[in-house]
Chains A and B, each alone.
Chain A
Amino acid sequence: MSIYIPHGGVHEPELIERVLAGDAAAERELYDAHVDRIYRLAYRMTGEDDLAQDCAQDAFLRAFERLEEFRGDSAFGTWLHTVATSVILNALRKRRRRWKREVDMEKVGPMGRREPKSDVGLRQSLHAAIDGLPDKYRMVFVMHEVEGYTHREIGSALGIEVGTSKAQLSRARARLREALAVYAGEVA
C-alpha cells in the first residue's frame, strides 16, 4: 500500500495527473491523503462538527474544481491548506455575523477569567481564552501548538511570512498568558 505523506508529496504529481485525466480512484486517493488534517483543522477552528464538515467539503470541492490551476510550485497539501484556511476563516466570519444578529454580545462575560485552581480549571480557562483570540491568531496558534504545523507550513497556508507567523503566535501566547494570569503563580 502506498503511503502518502501529506507534506512530502512524493507520489502526488503523478496522482494529480491521474485526477486531471479523470481518474476517480486517484481523486479518492488524494482526498484520503489529506482529509484528516483538513477536517481536524476545521473542527479545531469551528468547534462544530457540521460546520467543520461543510468547510472540509467546500475546500475539497474548490480544490478539485481548480486543480488545473495548481501548478505544482508547492506541495498539493500546502495549496489545499491555502484553500481550506480561507474557507474556514470565511465560515467563521459568516458565523460571527449571524451570532451578532442573534445574540446580545453585551451579555457574554469576559473569557478566561475564571477562578478554579486546578488542571481542569486551567484547561477549561485556556480553551475559553483560545476561543477569545482573534481568528487569525487562533488559526496560527491552533496550527502550530495544537496540530503541529511548522511556521513554514502556516506561512504558506495563510499567505504570510514565516516571521509574521512567529510574531502572531507570540502575540497569541501573550494574550493567553494575560488571560490566564490567575494561574501564573502556580506555575512559577
Chain B
Amino acid sequence: MSTDDRFDEQIRAAASGYREPPETPREAMWERIQAARAGRELREAAARRRRGRWMRWGIGIAAVLVAGIAVGRLSAPSGSPAPQVATTPAGSSPTGVAATGPAGAGQLTAYRLAAAEHLGRVEAFLTLFRREAEAGRVDQDLRAPARSLLSETRLFQASPAADDPALREVLGDVELVLAQISRYTEQPSRRQDLRFIDEGMEQRGVLLELHTVVTAARPTGLAQGAL
C-alpha cells in the first residue's frame, strides 16, 4: 500500500466524524412541511384575490391617464402652440412651477392631475409595502403592482408633468424605490435588501415627499393655484 493510499485510508477514517449529524428531527420537520403546504395553499388563494385587486388598480391608473390626457387636449384651443413651461424657484408654489399661457396651463394641469393621482396610488402601495415588510410578508405577489407602478412612473417622467421640478424630483425618487422593490420581489429571500430599501425610503423622506405633493394636488390645492 502506497503512502498516498495509507493517508487516504486515514483521511477516510477521520472524515467519518465530519459534522456528525444529530438525530433527524423528523416529526418537527414533517409538521413544518405540512404547515408550509397548508400556508402555501392559503397564500395562493390570497394571491389570486390580490391579483384581481391589483388588476382593477392597473385599469384605474390607465383610465386616469387617458382621462388626464383627454382633458388636456380638450381644454387646449385647437392650433395652439406647444405649452410653454417656465420654472420658478422652488417654494413659489407647492409644486414649484407655473405654466405660461392658458393653453399650456390647461394641458399641464391635466398631466399633473394624472401624475398626482398616480403618486397617490404609489403612496398607498409604499405604505402597504412597508407594513408587509414589517410583518415579514413581502413576496412575489407584490412584484406585479410594483412593476406596473414603475412603468407608469416612467411614463410620467417622460411626460410634461416632469417639467415641474418638484414633481420631477418625487417621480425620480419613486422610480428608484419602485425599481428596488421590483428587483427585490424577484428574489424575496434577500432580507438585507429589504432593509436597504426601507432605509433608502426613510433617508430620502419619500413617503413624506409623496404625501406633500399628493395633498397639494387635491382640489383645494388646485383652487389655491397649486397646479
Contacts and interface: CB of A to CB of B under 8 A. Distances in A.
A126 B29 contact: no
Interface residues of A, number: 39
B14 A126 contact: yes
Contacts of B15: 126-127, 130, 141, 145-146
Interface string B10-30: 111011111101101110111
Contacts of A32: 26
A44 B16 CA distance: 10
Contacts of B24: 35-36, 39-40
Given A36-B24, A53-B28, A101-B192, A187 B14 contact: no
Chief secondary structure at chain B's binding surface: helix
A39 B28 CA distance: 12
A149 interface: no
Interface stretch (B1-9, B47-55, B119-127): B1-9
B90 interface: no
Given A122-B14, A187-B10, A44 B19 contact: yes
A19 interface: no
A188 B3 contact: yes
Contacts of A183: 7, 10
A43 interface: yes
B9 to A, nearest CB: 9
A187 B6 CA distance: 7
B17 A39 contact: no
B197 to A, nearest CB: 16
A35 B29 contact: yes
Nearest to B4: A177
A40 B24 CA distance: 7
A130 B18 contact: yes
Interface of B: 3-4, 6-8, 10-12, 14-19, 21-22, 24-26, 28-30, 32-33, 36-37, 189, 192
20 contacts: A32-B26, A35-B24, A39-B21, A43-B19, A44-B19, A44-B21, A49-B22, A57-B33, A64-B33, A98-B192, A126-B11, A127-B15, A141-B15, A145-B11, A176-B11, A177-B4, A180-B7, A180-B11, A184-B7, A187-B6
